[in-house]
């Protein structure tokens, strides 16, 4: 299949290009290098020493014996999207080209409005270009499990059958997103669902859990093929940041009580899942939702797992809870379905503990790059609008508790 990856320079996009190519697909990608700019804005850098795109493309050719077409440009420019689609004629469009950070979207009014405009307009442009240029193609759109929030009932995959006052219907499951960024994914879901309804487009909307990990096998040993790995407060996700903290001897810092539960999956299985979606397109006009994660964990559990695996590798670490800069429930029910991908053949290739060991080994090689930006690990963007570094909670008591685990 001809697969167009929007956001091919990103954490997921770049490995996906290799993964799909290895499976025989013809891949093209677009990017505007914005992720590099955002991370720089956060005074941070990728822990992995990533190559610039020209070197990435050269390495791609060296390793996979074919060129990957690359379109440099901005998805909010309709002409750019239109020209790329006309030229490449995709069978599938994997849309990873959005601003993906909750804290970044919460910084101030400029960051909030920019985030919402950027994500919504990029997706609308893709929908219009599909309608007018490749109406039979399949949009694999990256959403997030965060769209659902943490309701006190089970979370189905996108839709649920309910009875209300004696009548029944199948309706979209209510969304209760927890940041301005997460709201953009909700807005996108509504827009994509509507486009499928009125224009007969087909789409898989991926409610993805938190992805972690440094590598996929397709990278081999060519350093030029490394994907980025962020650890700053905005672009580093929980496990990734915990591992970086362990490696440079900073405390591992769950937010608040640490009882927040989320779905997680390793980078390599994210590639597998996205590929399953690409290779099994829905019917014309169908809008379907996949909840994409391997297993649900509590944040404290993960912190403890990182602590334990680090110890087994001879890395001494400690866990210290910090104030929660977010407004979110810190103890709650959480039971989302995730059958659709398993039904299509998804088989987890690794468990969280083994993947953390792989990560810690990689990160040790990048110790100095993390150490040089250690101050970006502690968040200061707060949901109440203040910009002020969080502090440790009850340090003595918490440390005692953790040691006892």
What is the smallest separation between the CB atom of 110 and its own copies, expressed in angstroms?
Answer: 8
What is the smallest separation between the CB atom of 320 and its own copies, expressed in angstroms?
Answer: 25
Tell me which stretch binds its own copies (CB under 8 A): 175-183, 255-263, 277-285, 353-361. Answer: 175-183
Tell me which stretch binds its own copies (CB under 8 A): 20-28, 86-94, 156-164, 242-250. Answer: 156-164
Binding to its own copies by residue 124, rule CB under 8 A? yes
What is the smallest separation between the CB atom of 336 and its own copies, expressed in angstroms?
Answer: 12
List the one residue from 65, 167, 314, 391 that touches its own copies (CB under 8 A): 167
Tell me which stretch binds its own copies (CB under 8 A): 94-102, 103-111, 214-222, 350-358. Answer: 103-111
Side-chain half-sphere CA neighbours of 51 within 13 A: 15
* CA–CA gap between residue 158 and residue 289 (Å, rounded): 5
Q: Has 144 been annotated as catalytic?
A: yes
The answer to whether 70 touches 59, Cβ cutoff 8 Å, is no
The answer to whether 294 touches 266, Cβ cutoff 8 Å, is yes
List the one residue from 37, 58, 154, 375 that touches its own copies (CB under 8 A): 154
Q: Has 227 been annotated as catalytic?
A: no
List the one residue from 65, 316, 347, 384 that touches its own copies (CB under 8 A): 384
The answer to whether 207 touches 292, Cβ cutoff 8 Å, is yes
What is the smallest separation between the CB atom of 168 and its own copies, expressed in angstroms?
Answer: 7
What is the smallest separation between the CB atom of 286 and its own copies, expressed in angstroms?
Answer: 16
Spatial neighbors of 404 by CB under 8 A, at least 6 apart, are: none
**For the chain, first and last CA: distance in Å?**
50
Q: Which of 264, 268, 274 is nearest to 215 (CA)?
A: 268
Given 21, 115, 123, 144, the catalytic residue: 144
Q: Is 29 exposed, middle or buried (0-12, 13-18, 19+ CB in 10 A)?
A: buried
Binding to its own copies by residue 120, rule CB under 8 A? yes
Count interface residues toward its own copies (CB under 8 A): 50
The answer to whether 130 touches 139, Cβ cutoff 8 Å, is yes
List the one residue from 35, 36, 95, 175 that touches its own copies (CB under 8 A): 175
Binding to its own copies by residue 385, rule CB under 8 A? yes
What is the smallest separation between the CB atom of 119 and its own copies, expressed in angstroms?
Answer: 11
* CA–CA gap between residue 302 and residue 275 (Å, rounded): 27
List the one residue from 24, 54, 65, 168 that touches its own copies (CB under 8 A): 168
Q: List binders of its own copies among 188-247 (CB under 8 A).
A: 190-191, 194, 197-199
Catalytic center residues: 144, 181, 185
Contact residues for its own copies, defined by CB under 8 A: 78, 108-110, 112-113, 116-117, 120-121, 124-125, 128, 131-132, 151-154, 160, 162-165, 167-169, 171-178, 180, 183, 186-187, 190-191, 194, 197-199, 327, 333, 383-385
């Amino acid at each position: 299949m001809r697969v167009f990856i929007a956001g091919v320079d990103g954490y997921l996009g770049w490995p996906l290009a290799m993964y799909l190519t290895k499976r025989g697909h013809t891949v093209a990608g677009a990017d505007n290098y914005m992720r590099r700019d955002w991370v720089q804005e956060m005074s941070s850098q990728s822990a992995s020493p990533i190559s610039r795109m020209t070197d990435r493309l050269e390495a791609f050719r060296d390793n996979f014996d074919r060129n990957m077409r690359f379109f440099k440009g901005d998805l909010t420019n309709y002409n750019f999207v239109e020209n790329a689609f006309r030229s490449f004629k995709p069978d599938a469009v994997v849309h990873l080209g959005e601003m993906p950070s909750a804290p970044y979207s919460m910084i101030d009014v400029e960051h909030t409005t920019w985030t919402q405009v950027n994500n919504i307009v990029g997706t609308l442009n893709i929908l219009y270009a599909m309608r007018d240029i490749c109406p039979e193609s399949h949009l694999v759109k990256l959403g997030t499990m965060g769209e659902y929030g943490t309701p006190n009932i089970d979370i189905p995959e996108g839709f649920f059958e309910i009875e209300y006052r004696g009548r029944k219907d199948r309706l979209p499951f209510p969304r209760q997103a927890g940041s301005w960024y997460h709201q953009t994914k909700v807005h996108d879901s509504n827009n994509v669902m509507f486009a499928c309804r009125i224009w007969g487009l087909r789409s898989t909307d991926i409610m993805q859990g938190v992805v972690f990990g440094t590598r996929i096998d397709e990278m081999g040993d060519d350093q030029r093929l490394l994907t980025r790995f962020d650890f700053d407060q905005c672009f580093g996700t929980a496990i990734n940041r915990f591992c970086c903290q362990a490696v440079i001897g900073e405390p591992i810092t769950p937010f608040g009580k640490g009882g927040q539960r989320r779905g997680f999956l390793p980078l390599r299985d994210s590639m597998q899942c996205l590929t399953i979606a690409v290779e099994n397109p829905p019917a014309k006009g169908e809008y379907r939702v996949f909840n994409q994660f391997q297993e649900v964990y509590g944040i404290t559990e993960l912190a403890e797992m990182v602590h334990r695996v680090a110890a087994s590798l001879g890395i001494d670490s400690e866990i210290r809870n910090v104030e929660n800069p977010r407004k979110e429930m810190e103890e709650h029910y959480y039971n989302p379905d995730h059958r659709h991908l398993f039904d299509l053949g998804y088989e987890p290739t690794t468990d969280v503990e083994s993947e953390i060991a792989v990560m810690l080994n990689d990160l040790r090689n990048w110790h100095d790059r993390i150490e040089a930006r250690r101050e970006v690990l502690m968040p200061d963007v707060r949901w109440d609008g203040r910009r002020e570094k969080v502090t440790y909670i009850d340090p003595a008591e918490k440390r005692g508790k953790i040691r006892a685990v």
